[in-house]
Structure 1
Amino acid sequence: MEIYIVKSGDTVDSVALENEVSVESVLYNNQIEYPYALAVGQALLLTKGTPSNERKTVSVNGYAYPFINSDVLNQTLPYLSALSVFSYGFSAEGDLIYPPLDDTFMIEAAIQFQAAPILTLTPFGPDGQFSNYLINRVINNWEAAENLIQQITETVQAKGFQGVDVDFEYILPEDRVTFAEFVGRLREAINAIGYPVSVALAPKTSDTQEGLLYAGKDYALLGEAADSVLLMTYEWGYTYGPPMAVAPINKVREVVEYAITRIPEYKIDLGIPNYGYDWTLPFVKGESKARTIGNIEAIEIAVDNNAEIQFDPVAMSPYFRYTRDGLEHEVWFEDVRSMEAKFNLVKEFDLRGMGYWQVMKLFRANWLLLADTFWIEKQSE
């Protein structure tokens, strides 16, 4: 695969002719729809040959909700080692709460494509937000914790899951050790039936990092307690924050450099965002709210508004500005250049692999580039 940056005057036909590739492959790789317009600065993935056989084997996980489009799911699963079903909750008494929609089709599809279906556990309260009260109640109550672990184990076996992912956020600082102990006890139970346990980690850069996202996550303890970890290396640019890259590579690198001092690299998955944000300017703290968009949608916005896509060489992320209905907007998203930078980080630090939040929208160029860069670990028949 090669990456081509669109210049002024380029068309799909001229790009294909110049690079000696088929028009059909350019359209397919990059999900370009009729009338086949391009944006100046757009990064196109071109198929120029066959991948090298000398590729690192990686584990690739993707999170998805049970309302994922079946066609998107089936086009994505060939590139996944695991599919994390989002999500299962629990009560203060440790009773497991199933997702509101049936996830059976996801489990069956994952197994069909040799990707492990994973039960994702989250502590959502009645308001749909992460609840540190709920976490505190369960992990500090032996009876409730054991009840939850038992119900998770039974559900994994009954529904055909092949692992558990613990995605808890806003853990109280005083629950730091107890949370790690809970993960370790859950791992013992799930390992006993032949499956692994992973845990998601907020993107820390030091042991003493303050803030509710960070203080309750002890990298060393959780790295020891779980079979693998996911570094949630995204959301620097987020819904209520100022416009910036969602996963600037310079910031992502800082997290990885810290993580490998506390956790073996063969246990670490790099978190990768599969989305972007569209901010209306000017940004007003406490008032502004960015709109979440897909990466293909971002290109369509640029095309529709005749915007030229820029690329930040520090963040290694694409962005652009446009004006609609008298309002200025700023968009940050992911393209194959920003993905390549993240893949290079996985190779540089010899990490276990990567985990995508989330795979609800198809980003075909990413998956093609991934398969060109790595061997993707698959479950045995």
Structure 2
Amino acid sequence: MQRHHSGPSSRRTSSATALLATIVLAATSSTVLPASPVAAAHADPRGQAAPLVTGYVLDGAPDRLVHDNASGLDELGVDGVALDSDGAGVADPSDGAVRLLGTAHDDGLRAELLIHNYSSEIGDFDSTAAARLLRDDDHVRAVAQRLADIAVDQGWDGITVDLESLHRKDADGLVLLMSELQSRMPAAKTVTVDLMASTDLREFRARGYRLAAIAGVADVVAVMTYDQHGPGWSGPGPVGGLAWQRDVLDTLTSRVPVDQVDLGVAGYGYTWPKHGTGRTVTVPAARRLVQKDGAKAVWKRRAAEWTARLSNGTVLWWSDGRSFRKRQALAASYGVRGLALWRLGSTDTL
């Protein structure tokens, strides 16, 4: 999924920064999310299945993180393998990724391996590498075969395609990549695609997404409904406000069947200092900053997120367990397939 960077497409401005803050304040203890979406479905008097929950982890995450969250998950997404800069191949899964695959299966979870075009060298998603892949059919077929081989040989339950910062000319190649994955993997293995969120069909197309064609070849379409606001590309505001997410779903589901859609959920926050550069914060870190400052966290009902202003003028917004429950209700109201949470270890325990 996303790797917070310098624009509203993604996730990790600094995963190292996010991993540093792990202390949960007693005064603002972690919200515990519902234990099991399957159990919730059985408890629903209307007989409707609860949305599935996919939690994403970095490939260096400890097994304990999966064990602690397994009761609230159906699937684990492991981030992942990087696209080569020439667009012709992918890196081998790390030992940590393979370990987490086994951990997921031990806990009764499906596990998908994520391919991304994030480059640590440029600190952003590499649109050039993606173009070198998606505008060359031979590269597409080679990468699809390599990913299919990994999925079969290592026992992954599917592949998640997370290629971001694409352009209109990449659209056909993206559809071809998913089609080739489907033809080269056993039918039981799934293909998921992550899409940058938009409330405008023309913008989806400009970003390299032919939505109806994608729906025809992907099993799951996960829309990354976060980074609506963030330091570096907007002023302070919700990471992924509830009203905005509704607008995104309305747009997306006009072209993609609801039962293929996963709603992206943020499990992190951002800071906007009065001077200097903002950063990504984990949910515990956001609470710690507020408590240390003596500030007051305010729940914004319309956005279904928390915000606070520190004494030095820094503004924070973050999305936590309470936010997650609101997204569960939103997903259920639309009848979408599930939720995709970025990420375990940054937010409250499921």
Instruction: State TM-score, norm by structure 1.
Output: 0.76
SS at match of 1:155: helix
Alpha-carbon separation, structure 1, partners of 2:306 and 2:207: 32
Alpha-carbon separation, structure 2, partners of 1:46 and 1:357: 15
In structure 2, runs of 5+ residues without a counterpart are 1-22
C-alpha displacement at 1:314, in angstroms? Answer: 2.5
SS at match of 1:269: strand
C-alpha distance after superposition, 1:159-185 (max 9, x if no partner): 221100000111121222232122222
C-alpha distance after superposition, 1:52-91 (max 9, x if no partner): 7116332211111122133222101232221111121233
Evaluate the alpha carbon distance shift between residue 308 and residue 145 of structure 1 in structure 2; reply closer, same or farther with a 3 A threshold: same
2:297 counterpart letter in structure 1: I
1:65–1:360 CA contact under 8 A, matched in 2:
no
C-alpha displacement at 1:358, in angstroms? Answer: 1.3
Alpha-carbon separation, structure 2, partners of 1:203 and 1:273: 13
C-alpha displacement at 1:343, in angstroms? Answer: 1.4
C-alpha displacement at 1:239, in angstroms? Answer: 3.5
2:137–2:173 CA contact under 8 A, matched in 1:
no
Evaluate the alpha carbon distance shift between residue 328 and residue 56 of structure 1 in structure 2; reply closer, same or farther with a 3 A threshold: same
Does structure 1 residue 77 correspond to structure 2 residue 70? yes
Alpha-carbon separation, structure 1, partners of 2:154 and 2:190: 16
C-alpha displacement at 1:45, in angstroms? Answer: 6.2
Alpha-carbon separation, structure 1, partners of 2:33 and 2:152: 43
Match of 1:244 among 237, 242, 251: 237
2:192–2:222 CA contact under 8 A, matched in 1:
yes
The 5 A counterparts of 1:217-232 are 217-232=209-224
Does structure 1 residue 67 correspond to structure 2 residue 60? yes
Evaluate the alpha carbon distance shift between residue 45 and residue 175 of structure 1 in structure 2; reply closer, same or farther with a 3 A threshold: closer
Match of 1:318 among 301, 306, 325: 306
The 5 A counterparts of 1:115-126 are 115-125=109-119, 126=121
The 5 A counterparts of 1:342-361 are 342-361=327-346
C-alpha distance after superposition, 1:221-243 (max 9, x if no partner): 21222011101000012231321
CA RMSD of aligned residues (A): 2.5
Alpha-carbon separation, structure 2, partners of 1:344 and 1:290: 31
Evaluate the alpha carbon distance shift between residue 127 and residue 32 of structure 1 in structure 2; reply closer, same or farther with a 3 A threshold: closer
Alpha-carbon separation, structure 1, partners of 2:33 and 2:113: 36
Misfit runs of 4+, over 4 Å: 42-47
Evaluate the alpha carbon distance shift between residue 221 and residue 110 of structure 1 in structure 2; reply closer, same or farther with a 3 A threshold: same
Does structure 1 residue 207 correspond to structure 2 residue 201? yes
SS at match of 2:101: helix
Evaluate the alpha carbon distance shift between residue 174 and residue 95 of structure 1 in structure 2; reply closer, same or farther with a 3 A threshold: closer
SS at match of 2:315: strand
Does structure 1 residue 296 correspond to structure 2 residue 284? yes
User: Which residue pairs with 1:3 in the alignment?
Assistant: none
1:249–1:315 CA contact under 8 A, matched in 2:
yes
User: Which residue pairs with 1:156 in the alignment?
Assistant: 151
User: Which residue pairs with 2:226 in the alignment?
Assistant: 234
2:33–2:325 CA contact under 8 A, matched in 1:
no
1:361 counterpart letter in structure 2: S
C-alpha displacement at 1:32, in angstroms? Answer: 5.8
Evaluate the alpha carbon distance shift between residue 321 and residue 273 of structure 1 in structure 2; reply closer, same or farther with a 3 A threshold: same
**Aligned sequence identity (%):** 19
C-alpha displacement at 1:351, in angstroms? Answer: 0.6
SS at match of 1:277: strand
Alpha-carbon separation, structure 1, partners of 2:139 and 2:33: 53
Evaluate the alpha carbon distance shift between residue 349 and residue 46 of structure 1 in structure 2; reply closer, same or farther with a 3 A threshold: closer
1:320–1:330 CA contact under 8 A, matched in 2:
yes
Alpha-carbon separation, structure 2, partners of 1:102 and 1:351: 31
SS at match of 1:328: coil
Alpha-carbon separation, structure 2, partners of 1:294 and 1:272: 14
C-alpha displacement at 1:220, in angstroms? Answer: 1.7
1:37 counterpart letter in structure 2: A
2:342 counterpart letter in structure 1: W
C-alpha displacement at 1:304, in angstroms? Answer: 1.8
In structure 1, runs of 5+ residues without a counterpart are 1-30, 283-287, 368-381
SS at match of 2:194: strand
Instruction: State TM-score, norm by structure 2.
Output: 0.83
User: Which residue pairs with 1:37 in the alignment?
Assistant: 27
C-alpha displacement at 1:265, in angstroms? Answer: 0.4
Alpha-carbon separation, structure 1, partners of 2:110 and 2:198: 28
Match of 1:330 among 315, 319, 327: 315
C-alpha distance after superposition, 1:236-265 (max 9, x if no partner): 122313211101111111000111110000
